[in-house]
Amino acid sequence: MTRIEKVLYTGKVHITAGGRDGEARSDDGRLNLQLSSPGSRGAGTNPEQLLAAGWSACFIGAIGLAAGKRQVKLPSDLSVDAEVDLGTAGDAYLLQARLNVSIPGIERELAQALVDTAHQTCPYSKALRGNIHVETRLV
């Protein structure tokens, strides 16, 4: 396992009792969310949506790095739609995910190469690789 040599940022979030039905607050006050269990009538978001949001944002950054190395200008309407499933297998709870990537105006083979490179370099993808089933799709 590779350890970080230089920490660039540390996100700090406090979750109140209730977990999925609690509240999430960051130490800097920028994040202040009600949490709700998936499928409930609660007013808040859930951990699966938060993972999908963070991963999508990070993945777009990784695509940008890959494009920069190839001197490719990315379109402004580049997007990633992440889907994170919470499910079971037997008695175990598990996650699986799909990253649906749209890079309009870029030739398909090049776009696929950018997605593949991003999936190898994105820290979220690295953290989850081999731990959950993940599909990347160029749409």
- Same domain? 110 vs 73: yes
- Same domain? 55 vs 105: yes
- Same domain? 8 vs 18: yes
Task: State yes or no: pLDDT of 1 exceeds 90.
Answer: no
Could you give the number of structural domains in the chain? 2
- Residue ranges making up the domain that contains 63: 47-138
Q: What is the mean pLDDT of residues 75-100?
A: 97
- Same domain? 16 vs 39: yes
- Same domain? 21 vs 68: no
pLDDT reported for residue 2: 84
- Same domain? 80 vs 34: no
pLDDT reported for residue 39: 85
Q: Residue 96 maps to which CATH number? A: 3.30.300.20
- Same domain? 64 vs 125: yes
- Give the C-alpha separation, 110 to 116, whole Å: 10
pLDDT reported for residue 131: 94
Q: What is the pLDDT of residues 88-134, one digit of tens each?
A: 999 999 999 999 999 999 999 999 999 999 999 999 999 999 999 99
Q: What is the pLDDT of residues 36-61, one digit of tens each?
A: 998 888 889 999 999 999 999 999 99
- Same domain? 29 vs 62: no
pLDDT reported for residue 34: 94
Q: Residue 22 maps to which CATH number? A: 2.20.25.10
Q: What is the pLDDT of residues 4-23, one digit of tens each?
A: 999 999 999 999 988 899 99
- Same domain? 21 vs 81: no
pLDDT reported for residue 40: 87
